Amino acid sequence: MGLLSTWLSRLASPHSSKSFFHRARELSHRFRGPRFSGALPSSGKERLLSWSRSIVPFAIVASAGGALALELSSTSSLDHRIEGKEQTGLLVQGPHKELPEEFIKELKAILQDNMTLEYDERHFHGNPQNSFHRAVNIPDVIVYPRWHDDVQKIVISCNKYKVPITPYGGATSVEGQTLAPQGGLCIDMSLMKKIKSLHVEDMDVVVEPGVGWIELNEYLKPYGLFFPLDPGPGATIGGMCATRCSGSLAVRYGTMRDNVINLQVVLGNGDVIKTGSRARKSAAGYDLTRLIIGSEGTLGVITEVTLRLQKLPQHSMVAMCNIQTIKDAANAAIATMHSGIQVSRVELLDEVQVKAINMANGKNLPELPTLMFEFIGTEAYLREQALLVQKIVSEHNGSDFVFVEDADAKKELWRIRKEALWACLAMAPNFEALTTDVCVPLSRLAECISKSKQELNASPLLCMVIAHAGDGNFHACILFDPDQEEQQQEAERLNHFIVHTALSMEGWSSPCFFMELERGCCSLGMVDVQFHPFPFPDICCLDTWDITLFRRSRGTCSGEHGCWYWQNEVP
């Protein structure tokens, strides 16, 4: 009991920002949507964003604690710091052409005032605040459909005038999915946020793509149900599907592909398909649902999603412990998975990440590699499983093993884990961050993390590691001074080292420009071969140029992944 009290006292912080964050998030969702008319701009003069729009990126950051909220209290500060801005990332450029006036008139007839050509809105949508990647062009027009029919009409019009489309969700992705390399049209799905039907007995729900996973779970809670994926706060269901997201609960419930029953999709020529029924399984035909999930809009625009739900756990328990080395921590996580113990989360933080959390949140956690576990089930089962994990951890030089059952303490623990990136930024206020995202077979996790950590420690840059250790997925956050070219090059070198290390161990990396290394040139070429004769007219006919752009602008990080990029015709 004394040890638990010590841990809880370390968690206690006079700088808690929980209430402020929830208020900010509420405001950001309330005010999302169009604020400008669809008229052509009368001049080149830029308008300032309204406060309601500028609070969106700020709300994401504010929850990292009082100290960090003060540090990142301006939109411009956030723009420059989260994974780079201007010349600090991979610069993507595609051919751009002006939108025909007839096209703008058609959009106006379809959407009335739910569209804008204002520069500030276009710049906001075309320059994601949390991505290292940048594009030369930004969208030429932003539209806000309210209904499925709106989306279909928009796509038909875009196909008619050969205008590229970039649908846009919660924009929490860190891999550049909201970029618009060719300009064109951006479909902001924020107004399509209806929960259309809930089938409690079938444990499924039908939603529109703009519904946020946090809001969905708030709706489901009175029914004793929940949707078990937990990517970044602000993520929306459509973007989660398009990028095949996961999260810390994936070790128990799987990724997005395991939790979607069917999709409604508008194809490139405006045709609409439903990828399946509401039945839980089918052995008939192609698995179109899983084909679309993770395609990031290269096959169509998602307008409706049927999700598989789970029962809310009766009880849950969080356990934390310190381990002397990160390799021992990874081995302890692997041993836990091999033991057959049913954990719902296994998270690993290195000592630098723990230090960042302490600084950003006013905590006093031991600055050692740390493992976090979550167990769900009956109270007796929780205690039995936690004791088994404690034994495993002790065999890998673990110490300070504590169990947390208090609801507020558990929320606080997962809050600081979710806000790890923002905590990293607090350590170096004027620096930017490049984050990696790799996954290896579980048996290679300890080796991969250990090799990566050695390289990171040898670098003059400030670096930290955090992992979804239960399924072999880990991230490195590399901080660098954007004004120092040598530091940027060193950050990119470290990123390449980690990615190549993972690929050499039969793993994968989400950064788009490593797709060819992971899948091979022949695999990429097969996209062109397979989809040119595909019996969906005009659907994403990718040639070599398109494949290159697709390779450089995609990613499947476990944050939300807010959008899809696709094109109807090769320029």
What is the per-residue pLDDT across 92-133, written as a single tens digit (0 to 9) for each?
Answer: 777 888 999 999 999 999 999 999 999 999 888 887 766 666
Q: pLDDT category, 474, cuts 50, 70, 90? A: very high
Structurally, the chain folds into a number of domains equal to 2
Q: Tell me: do 37 and 174 sit in the same domain.
A: yes
Statement: residue 494 has pLDDT above 80: yes
Q: Is residue 365 part of a domain?
A: no
**3-class SS at 558?**
coil
**pLDDT the model gives residue 426:** 85
Q: Is residue 407 part of a domain?
A: no
The mean per-residue pLDDT over the stretch 241-251 comes to: 90
Among residues 138, 189, 153, 183, the alpha carbon closest in space to that of 165 is found at 183
pLDDT digits (tens, 9 = 90+) for 18-27: 333 333 333 3
Strand partners, 141: 185
Q: Tell me: do 58 and 176 sit in the same domain.
A: yes
Which of 162, 191, 220 represents a domain boundary (last residue)? 191
Q: Is residue 364 part of a domain?
A: no
Q: Tell me: do 151 and 243 sit in the same domain.
A: no
Number of Cβ atoms within 10 Å of the Cβ of 90: 18
> Between 66 and 510, where is the model more confident?
510
Q: Tell me: do 131 and 199 sit in the same domain.
A: no
Q: Which domain holds residue 77?
A: 25-191
> Between 564 and 339, where is the model more confident?
339
What 18-23 contacts at long range (C-beta under 8 Å, 24+ apart), as own/partner pairs, is 18/63, 18/411, 18/412, 18/415, 20/62, 20/63, 20/69, 21/59, 21/62, 21/63
Q: pLDDT category, 513, cuts 50, 70, 90? A: very low
Q: Tell me: do 45 and 175 sit in the same domain.
A: yes
**pLDDT the model gives residue 306:** 98
Statement: residue 564 has pLDDT above 90: no
Q: Is residue 138 part of a domain?
A: yes
The mean per-residue pLDDT over the stretch 230-247 comes to: 90
Least confident of 84-88, 469-473, 513-517, 542-546: 542-546
Q: Tell me: do 153 and 212 sit in the same domain.
A: no
**pLDDT the model gives residue 180:** 79
Least confident of 323-327, 431-435, 519-523: 519-523
CATH code for position 232: 3.30.465.10
Q: Is residue 231 part of a domain?
A: yes
pLDDT digits (tens, 9 = 90+) for 263-280: 999 999 999 999 999 998
90 contacts 133 by C-beta, under 8 angstroms: yes
Statement: residue 86 has pLDDT above 70: no
Q: Tell me: do 40 and 104 sit in the same domain.
A: yes
Q: Tell me: do 137 and 202 sit in the same domain.
A: no
**pLDDT the model gives residue 517:** 44
Q: Tell me: do 60 and 102 sit in the same domain.
A: yes
Q: Is residue 497 part of a domain?
A: no
136 contacts 123 by C-beta, under 8 angstroms: no
Residue that the structure tokens 């928009």 belong to: 154
**pLDDT more than 90, % of the chain:** 49
CATH code for position 140: 3.30.43.10
pTM of the model: 0.74
Q: Tell me: do 179 and 36 sit in the same domain.
A: yes
Statement: residue 470 has pLDDT above 50: yes
pLDDT digits (tens, 9 = 90+) for 386-427: 999 999 999 999 988 888 888 888 888 888 888 887 888 888
Which of 164, 191, 218 represents a domain boundary (last residue)? 191
Least confident of 156-165, 253-262, 552-561: 552-561
Q: pLDDT category, 79, cuts 50, 70, 90? A: very low
**pLDDT the model gives residue 130:** 63
277/506 Cα distance (integer angstroms): 35
Q: Tell me: do 256 and 136 sit in the same domain.
A: no
Q: Is residue 80 part of a domain?
A: yes
Statement: residue 519 has pLDDT above 70: no
**pLDDT the model gives residue 133:** 67
Distances from the Cα of 259 to the Cα of 18, 249, 409, 524, 555, angstroms: 29, 12, 29, 27, 20
Q: Tell me: do 70 and 93 sit in the same domain.
A: yes
The mean per-residue pLDDT over the stretch 523-543 comes to: 36
Statement: residue 359 has pLDDT above 50: yes
The mean per-residue pLDDT over the stretch 429-447 comes to: 91
